[in-house]
Structure 1
Amino acid sequence: MNILGISAYYHDSAAALVKSGRIIAAAQEERFTRKKHDARFPKNAIAYALEEAKIPLRKLDYIVFYEKPLITFERLLETYIAYAPQGFHSFISAMTVWLKEKLYLKTVLKKELAKLANCKVGQLPPLLFTEHHQSHVASAFFPSPFDNAAILCLDAVGEWATTSLWLGESNRITPRWELHFPHSLGLLYSAFTYYTGFKVNSGEYKLMGLAPYGEPKYVNLILENLIDIKADGSFRLNMEYFNYAMGLKMINNKFSRLFGQPPRKAENKITQHEMDIAASIQKVTEEVVLRLANTAYQELKTDNLCLAGGVALNCVANGRIYQETNFKNIWIQPAAGDAGGSVGAALAVWYQYLSNERHLNINEPDMMQGSYLGPQFNNDETQEYLDDVKAKYNYFKEEDELLNEVASILSKGYVVGWFQGRMEFGPRALGNRSILGDPRNQEMQSIMNLKIKYRESFRPFAPSVLTEKASQYFELEKPSDYMLIVAKVKEDLRINNQKETQSLFGIDKLKAVRSTIPAVTHVDYSARIQTVNPANNSRYYQLIKHFEALTGCGVLINTSFNVRGEPIVCTPEDAYRCFMRTEMDYLVINDYVLKKVDQPKWKHDKSWQNEFELD
């Protein structure tokens, strides 16, 4: 039985295909259209999923959308009525969109699907709808390795829910309680994202990365004025400071006055004020998440915790759950945001609607297959493109020779674009669409940020580490396959430079070398870790092993293969274009190695950077 899940029209459209309970394919629309966070109907992602499953759309058993739009419309109406006459212009603007598209989303979806299938609407498979948090929760529990678990869903807002606790047992997920809009931890964090000059719905991870450069001096101000947190983690926001419920902006002037100055304009210099704000809201967020996790443990009496929703991408908070709660096992959906709702919606139909049994596979760490669920391209396709653009390359017939060559290149301080196998699903590059570097090189963070990624210098890079060696480098005892947990670098690897660091403030903290793997050690000695094992990604694992044999270091820098404002690359064409537009030194696509200086001249037109949304 084949079920197609769709998330669309709100943020980060995606499609996922589930066959008899197994995830066959999943991809975000942005990867095909090259428009970051593309929210349009995911026709390209659907086409890919159907092709991967080798089934025409008309032969599907069910199609399911990840949200119930009529309930969302109800929330919109009730909210505007509650705040009337404030927000009238916003109301008119929202109603225009809803009356054109979203209120009649079932009709819109059927028309788009019929167009894609080249058939009449009446010939389509049944179209179902799940609730938003149900989709998130299903995406977190059903692919997890647990037969039972507490499931926390924290995001901006679904239909009404912003925070919810569920119990997962075998093939069922049962809601226990939920908090409602406008009281939202996700929207609170987004309000501070907006205030510090980053783009809402895509810049939240920048705020998290900025936090260690600041001091949490505004925590009490936030707790006294913006949010009332109860002992169990439930909370209420003081809506006098926010505009998102009835306006076109996240915050109002009262919010700005509370913190002493207006919001930073995008692209303006980041000051100590923004760093301290980031540190403060990050600490408040962690406190809420920890209290909620402790409540989940006390109420549901299970050792296992699953997380989903956009707040579950806050890997610093996740790291504290891992270190400071009684849960023995934690599993986080790698596509925890809206895109993952497509997977969850399909799985919810398979297990809940159709009541199919759920069988755990002890030979797999989970059912997400490493999140390698996107398109892949073979050597013939790769060579055809490279020959078309007259690229110069070396082909390696033997994998061992290829890995020796790439490990040697990395050890010499060069930056490598690494394109292999199936594209990752979700926001993290996990070794198939990655840019790699040597973590021992103290200049590598600045080089990769400014010359490769074209982004802010403060942004940290993640380490990919051999699973069996993770505890030698980091204070981490269990795998973190999806780069969603932050832990400290081991104390014996840290460099004691207290005198030097005491005189440094803000971004200048980057100048201090903090460990023997400085390029992946953040200013607070933390790292966002990806553990790599041969079961999930054999070639990437073997590359790190070769690098370790050459250098004694079982860690590589891993950042996503893209530049600022651009989605992660999908095709060999995307990879070569990104390679040639940046100061990357080498590109490896499948078994082909390309050296930048050997390539034909590329037209250096910087206007391409304006094609992408700067966030």
Structure 2
Amino acid sequence: MGTNKIRFFIGISCFYHDSGVSIIDEDQNVLFAQGEERVTRLKHDKNFPDLSIREGLKYILSKFRDSRSQIVFHVIYYENPNQKFRRILKSTKYFGSVDKALKLAFSYELRSKRKVKKLFDSHFQVIADELRDEYRFIDVSFKQTIFSRHHLSHALSSHHFASVSESVSIVIDGVGENISASIWKIDDNNHHLQWQLSYPHSIGLLYATFTSYLGFKVNSGEYKLMGLAPYGRPQFKDLLRKHIFKDDRAESLKLNLSMFNFSGFSKLYTKKLSNILPFRPIKNEDFFCDQNIADLASSIQSITEDIVVDLFDLAIKLNPNSVHFCYSGGVALNCKANEKIWNKCFKSSNRFFNVMPAAGDCGASLGAAFYGLRAHQNQRLLAKKTGSLTSPLSKDLSPTPFLGSSFKVSREFIDQISKSGEIELIETSGLDDALSIVASEIIKGKVVGFYQGKAEFGPRALGNRSILASPLGASTQRRVNLKIKYREDFRPFAPVTTPEDFHTYFDGAMNPYMLITARAKSSIGILPEECYETPVDISSYPLPAVTHLDGSARVQVVSQGFNPSLYKLLRKLGQYGHPPVLLNTSFNVRGEPVVHTPSDAVDCFLDTQMDYLFLDGSLFRKNLYREKPQRSFRPD
């Protein structure tokens, strides 16, 4: 009997920050996608995603365990190391000395395609040997690594995730090889770069500079700056525009490089920048003694919003007849800026705005996989009848973000975690009964860890690895921040609701991935757009725990097809007289990635002040609350 030859394409992003892996088949279907940090428990892990690759391969090969198949895996790296090495060398032109630039460049171990291929070959040789031992009837082989480009990987990831046949793809991040922003025209057969912004002029690095200036960690703390901005007003906007730009028009953006230092040796800013500001760089996060700090955050957020809106205007001018506009790169995770993009460019048009949920470098692994498929098929992908079906569609036709690993919760595991007496299993008659109890307890003010199914791809918890609570009490936000997440109390939380109930409580774009802020409705109506940058009185809002200080809310809208259990829980809340809205935050604590395995979920549950744990259909009550966590938490 002959063997079937089956091909898969493995996209890999790593060695900078947030490494990830994505695996697709020849029919363009996404089979697995995951960030390595979930498995290693190291937040923003940048290393080769060895453990995630193994989980993904075992998931795929388990479907062929009883068949004689020849399986070929094509390996694609998400960027071009040669071009990246040249960009690092060129940094001496803008920042620092030649000696320092050479030192940095040659400390970059993976400075050529040859070195990356050699490293990948060694990893995959070990993996292949292990797989052949476990799957004896399957002939597994790995093709030599090929290379995409950083921004092309981002662009292809958002295009294919959106499941459309033609799109304009906008990418904005810190830097990839030597491009920091780009506009692409993509269809089933071709991709074309229409416009680019070149390093060192960068919107992402500009935002990162002020992230660092305010005492937050670059490539991690940008969302803190975004969360801090509503506490201030953009008082320094004109001052910054005058000094930090040579040209502040988006299509020809030029930074005043004397204000910045992107060499990689020191802080991203220079003394010239600190000299124009009313306070020196923040060394820690105890900064609320000075309103100027929140005002600076508000100012750079406002500037960033203006620039990205102008870039989308440019993309629309270049493509006046295009309908689908896709967005990726680290800056695409700025949901406040995304609201402004939607309001200015899409709200009153027939165009669609698709933000990639895994918009950062982890998600670029998906675009790398599609680059490999396109290269293998010589750029002649045949459009399916339904368009470019890529990530599996939920029943409401939204591409699902639930693409990571899943784990069975065995009876043995349940018995094991119940032994200590800290938690006990609640006997229920099934899923519906368990969700009814969860709804009742949330209404009473309890906080629930909610763990089910496959992990989300990307940084947002979208209902499979979430912490849920009622959004009604103003004190809930502080309790969850300080007693459960162990983080700063200014950090906002996001609401989740259903499509049927969205417009009762919010106004704006309905997004299933929690990537576009909307306006919370209050007793005095919706805040006018001209007041978006002004702090408001939260007491006038019915959902204070999920309404930020500017009247915004980072809403996730969940349909029955997208996440059936979470949708059912929301509907039960409504039936019990509670608004069908929940506070939804990621199932983790400060400095740690979102929980991955059931064991991770139990450990996090026990070490926090959560009250109930929903674990893949089983429901647990906490009996004993620890006075303090049994582990220390890393700064994030």
TM-score between the two structures when normalised by the length of structure 2 = 0.88
1:70-81 aligned at under 5 Å gives the runs: 70-80=82-92
Give the structure with the higher percent helix: 1
Distance 1:494 1:550 in 2: 26
1:133-144 aligned at under 5 Å gives the runs: 133-144=151-162
Structure 2 residue aligned with 1:342: 365
CA 1:178–1:421 in structure 2 vs 1: closer, same or farther (change >3 Å)? same
Distance 1:470 1:228 in 2: 43
Structure 1 residue aligned with 2:239: 221
The code of the aligned residue for 1:575 comes to A
Secondary structure in 1 matching 2:473? coil
Structure 2 residue aligned with 1:282: 301
Distance 1:448 1:427 in 2: 19
Structure 1 residue aligned with 2:455: 423
1:518-557 aligned at under 5 Å gives the runs: 518-557=544-583
CA 1:283–1:141 in structure 2 vs 1: closer, same or farther (change >3 Å)? same
Q: Residue 167 of structure 1: CA displacement?
A: 0.9
Moved more, 83-92 or 552-561: 83-92
Q: 2:407 aligns with which of 377, 402, 416?
A: 377
Distance 1:344 1:450 in 2: 38
Q: Does 2:316 match 1:297? A: yes
CA 1:93–1:371 in structure 2 vs 1: closer, same or farther (change >3 Å)? same
Q: Residue 388 of structure 1: CA displacement?
A: 6.4
Alignment RMSD (CA, Å): 2.7
CA contact (8 A) 2:14 2:49 kept: yes
Distance 2:435 2:250 in 1: 51
Secondary structure in 2 matching 1:178? strand
Q: Residue 578 of structure 1: CA displacement?
A: 0.7
1:104-119 aligned at under 5 Å gives the runs: 104-118=115-129
CA 1:339–1:591 in structure 2 vs 1: closer, same or farther (change >3 Å)? same
1:428-443 aligned at under 5 Å gives the runs: 428-443=460-475
CA 1:395–1:421 in structure 2 vs 1: closer, same or farther (change >3 Å)? farther
Structure 1 residue aligned with 2:72: 60
Moved more, 241-250 or 195-204: 241-250
Q: Cα deviation per residue 1:393-425 (whole Å; 9 max; x = unaligned)?
A: 114342211111000010001111111111111
The code of the aligned residue for 2:29 comes to R
Q: Cα deviation per residue 1:44-65 (whole Å; 9 max; x = unaligned)?
A: 1101111121269993331111
Q: Residue 379 of structure 1: CA displacement?
A: 3.3
Distance 1:552 1:409 in 2: 12
The code of the aligned residue for 1:129 comes to F
The code of the aligned residue for 2:611 comes to D
Q: Does 2:343 match 1:317? A: no
Distance 2:374 2:620 in 1: 46
The code of the aligned residue for 2:553 comes to A
The code of the aligned residue for 1:295 comes to L
Secondary structure in 2 matching 1:98? coil
Distance 2:428 2:112 in 1: 51
CA 1:335–1:365 in structure 2 vs 1: closer, same or farther (change >3 Å)? farther
Distance 1:412 1:495 in 2: 29
Distance 1:207 1:464 in 2: 23
CA 1:465–1:256 in structure 2 vs 1: closer, same or farther (change >3 Å)? same
1:387-466 aligned at under 5 Å gives the runs: 387=418, 391-466=423-498
Q: Cα deviation per residue 1:108-139 (whole Å; 9 max; x = unaligned)?
A: 1221222222389x963231110000100000
Q: Residue 352 of structure 1: CA displacement?
A: 5.1
CA contact (8 A) 1:458 1:510 kept: no
Secondary structure in 2 matching 1:60? strand
CA 1:343–1:46 in structure 2 vs 1: closer, same or farther (change >3 Å)? same
Distance 1:578 1:70 in 2: 42
Distance 1:512 1:136 in 2: 37
Q: 1:488 aligns with which of 519, 543, 548?
A: 519
The code of the aligned residue for 2:355 comes to I
Q: Cα deviation per residue 1:548-570 (whole Å; 9 max; x = unaligned)?
A: 11124111100000011110001
Q: Does 2:381 match 1:356? A: yes
CA 1:385–1:318 in structure 2 vs 1: closer, same or farther (change >3 Å)? farther
Secondary structure in 2 matching 1:375? coil
Q: Cα deviation per residue 1:161-180 (whole Å; 9 max; x = unaligned)?
A: 10000112234322111111
Distance 1:518 1:288 in 2: 31
Distance 1:439 1:364 in 2: 27
Q: 1:580 aligns with which of 606, 612, 616?
A: 606
Structure 2 residue aligned with 1:152: 170
Distance 1:365 1:331 in 2: 18
Q: Residue 368 of structure 1: CA displacement?
A: 7.5
Distance 2:60 2:124 in 1: 17
Q: Cα deviation per residue 1:458-484 (whole Å; 9 max; x = unaligned)?
A: 1110010102221221112x5301000
Distance 2:557 2:98 in 1: 47
CA 1:236–1:267 in structure 2 vs 1: closer, same or farther (change >3 Å)? same
Q: Cα deviation per residue 1:227-280 (whole Å; 9 max; x = unaligned)?
A: 245545431111101111363221111111111322111233333122011100
TM-score between the two structures when normalised by the length of structure 1 = 0.91
Structure 1 residue aligned with 2:16: 10
Structure 1 residue aligned with 2:43: 36
Secondary structure in 1 matching 2:310? helix
The code of the aligned residue for 1:587 comes to L
CA contact (8 A) 1:143 1:367 kept: no
Structure 1 residue aligned with 2:58: 51
CA 1:83–1:571 in structure 2 vs 1: closer, same or farther (change >3 Å)? same
CA contact (8 A) 1:494 1:516 kept: no
The code of the aligned residue for 1:86 comes to S
Q: Cα deviation per residue 1:133-174 (whole Å; 9 max; x = unaligned)?
A: 010000000121433222110000001110000112234322
Secondary structure in 2 matching 1:345? helix
Secondary structure in 2 matching 1:152? strand
Structure 2 residue aligned with 1:331: 354
CA contact (8 A) 2:522 2:542 kept: no
Secondary structure in 2 matching 1:371? coil
The code of the aligned residue for 1:95 comes to F
Q: 2:192 aligns with which of 171, 174, 177?
A: 174
The code of the aligned residue for 2:215 comes to G
Structure 1 residue aligned with 2:539: 513
Structure 1 residue aligned with 2:135: none
Moved more, 549-558 or 386-395: 386-395
Corresponding residue pairs, total: 598
CA 1:146–1:84 in structure 2 vs 1: closer, same or farther (change >3 Å)? closer
